[in-house]
Structure 1
Amino acid sequence: MTKSTQAINRAASHQLMKDFSLEMTGKDIPALLEARTLIPLGTRINVTFLGNEDLEMRVAAARSAREMGFVPVPHISARRLESTQGLREFLGRLQDVDATQHILAVGGDPARPEGPYSDSLSVIRSGVLQEFGVREVGIGGYPEGHPDIPTEILWRALEDKSAALQEQGLDTVIFTQFAFDTAPVAEWIEAVRAKGITAPIRVGTPGPAGIKRLLGFARRFGVGANAMIVKKYGFSLTNLVGVAGPDNFVNDLAAVLADHSAGRGPGLPGQVGLHFYTFGGLSETANWARRFTAGQE
């Protein structure tokens, strides 16, 4: 690789790292407070909607993110909502802390809905979001598929949600499930754009975390983690001791996107950023991001 190519690749990685987003749970307020000086102001912080956390925890996390100078992106888990009143109460409480402009609508883990919403599309089509000042809705993307949902249904859902949000005048951003391998991610982005979906895409990948922990999440979410893929990512299935980070993934994805943008690939990727799942902790991911970005300058 020539020095010129290395410089181009570093610039591409630096560009991809701009405006990354992070993930926290309702329990992570102390961790966010600890990491706050490491995270750029204005960073989007997704706040998960877990079954073992309640309304107060979710709202408190969103409020804390806002008060620390970040942009909260609360999750709405459709199948966990017990009623339309419950949705209104959640959004109302979020509006009270100025945290409804950006939300992420997901189906959620329960196999059966706990209320009237069978999926995130039904929440979007309810018309309730606009009543509480929602301007942008995040939706899920699955470059490597979903362990319980056929691929054709995933594509139909993505197209239907994109169309519904456009019809309602709401902005859209796509957050993908985390990945270890850039090849299926790049192919999926190309397919998204081929369908005429132009919304910004935030590609999910884990921040630095213990290898056993990463593999546990990969098995849980049906993410490919065979020997070839994880070696490319930066660790081995035969040595599960230690921590792995997304350096290789970010560099590889940046190079692929740069090639496509320069016309050396089959299609233009459009607006693509990164979303880090903080399995190893907010401070660890924020520290890694600062060190990695400095190394690309």
Structure 2
Amino acid sequence: MTDQTDSPSSGTLSPAAVLLQDFSLEMTGKDVPALLDSVHAISVGTKVNVTFLGNEDLDMRVAAARAVRDNGFLPVPHISARRLHSEQETREFLEALQAVNATESVFVVGGDPSEPMGPYDSSTDLIASGLFAEYGVKEVNIAGYPEGHPDITDAMLWDHLQRKSALLKDQGLQSTILTQFGFDADPIIDWVREVRARGIDSTIRLGIPGPAGIKRLLSYAKRFGVATSAGIVKKYGFSITNLLGTAGPDKFVADLAERLAAEPTAGDVKVHLYAFGGLQATSEWARDFSAGVAR
């Protein structure tokens, strides 16, 4: 585990270094050993999201959240609305998370099932239930899709984003918008502008893929409907014809940071790193890249 040290003021850092300050990470319930191998590269207090996958159970999710907390980080458990079978199951999960001090921040998402397994058809429904405040939740992360969603219209995405933001504000809860990962700064900047134009002032965490095998990155992009044209992947720093190499997001982060720094309405924007190439590789990349681009 790294020691907390005083960091330089943002005025002495490059835009890329500023953007990567206070980045968050993501792990699955099975990644506890990987987390323990990565603590040397992660600053105390870093937010670490814990997924809610169909092949994980409550005990695994809670154990992973506890491991995050025990190692000095802030767990952000995912809660998949359509995977919940009942309000009782929801309460049991929140109660178990609260018992390990892991409900301060959560990420609420609709989830993959095409049909809900219980009473919640969407993350909006789950937020509207008002359950979170009962279990000590202070911040709710909600999903954002700068490049849209393959199964949801843009109009519906914007409607739900605004409704969720309003619900959380009414409930006195902080909100953060955590986005799907992307490779292209153009739609991300346009989407950030639109979020602010709609009066949503939440913190935004932009999803960025950490260093990973190129074939794996393209596979994830295809699965989630993320653009991967030859021009975009060239900007990202690798050739689409070379699937055997490993790519890091250095060029993409630098470009995105410069453009955000010049965007007057961007507001509070941070980074969420998807650890497609492994938690340790992603954490070490963030540490080393931040040090390399600091002025």
Q: Same fold (TM over 0.5)?
A: yes
Give deviations 1:130-155, integer Å, cap 9, x for gaps. 11011100000000000111111001
Instruction: Spell out the pairing of 1:183-262 with structure 2 (5 A cutoff).
Output: 183-261=186-264
TM-score normalised per structure 1: 0.94
Residue 43 of structure 1 pairs with residue 46 of structure 2: yes
Displacement of 1:242: 0.9
How far apart, CA to CA, are the structure 1 residues paired with 2:44 and 2:170? 32
1:140 and 1:9 map into 2 onto residues whose CA distance is: 32
| Structure 2 segments unaligned to the other structure (5+ residues) | 1-10
Is the 1:202–1:275 Cα contact (8 Å) retained in structure 2?
Answer: yes
Count of equivalent residues: 284
Q: How does 1:127-146 map to 2 (within 5 A)?
A: 127-146=130-149
Q: Do 1:75 and 1:106's aligned partners in 2 also have CA atoms closer than 8 Å?
A: yes
SS at match of 1:202: strand
Q: Distance in 2 between matches of 1:240 and 1:269?
A: 35
TM-score normalised according to structure 2 size: 0.95
Distance change in 2, residues 1:12/1:225 (3 Å)? same
From 69, 75, 87, the equivalent of 1:84 is 87
Q: Does 1:122 pair with 2:125?
A: yes
CA contact (8 A) 1:213 1:279 kept: yes
Residue number in structure 1 paired with 2:269: 272
Contact 1:14 1:293 (C-alpha < 8 Å) held by counterparts: yes
1:112 to 111, 115, 122: 115
Code of the residue aligned with 1:277 in structure 2: it is Y
Give the equivalent residue in structure 2 for 1:103.
106
CA displacement at 1:238 relative to structure 2? 1.1
Aligned partners of 1:209, 1:239: CA distance in 2, in Å?
A: 13
Which of 289, 292, 295 is matched with 1:292 structurally? 289
The CA distance in 2 between the partners of 1:260 and 1:78, in whole Å, is 34
Identity of aligned residues (%): 59
Question: What letter is aligned with 1:143?
Answer: P
- Aligned letter for 1:72? P
The one-letter code matched in structure 2 to 1:292 is F
Counterpart Cα distance in 1 of 2:131 and 2:285: 39
Q: Which residue of 1 aligns with 2:3?
A: none
Q: What is the alpha-carbon distance in structure 2 between the residues aligned to residue 36 and residue 156 of structure 1?
A: 39
What is the Cα deviation at residue 9 of structure 1?
11
Partner of 2:164: 161
1:174/1:199 contact within 8 Å kept: yes
**Secondary structure of the structure 2 residue equivalent to 1:134:** coil
Cα distance per residue 1:77-126 (max 9 Å; x no partner):
00000000000000000000000010000000000000000000111010
**Aligned mates of 2:45, 2:165 — CA distance in 1:** 25
Q: Counterparts of 2:13 and 2:138 in 1: how far apart (Å)?
A: 34
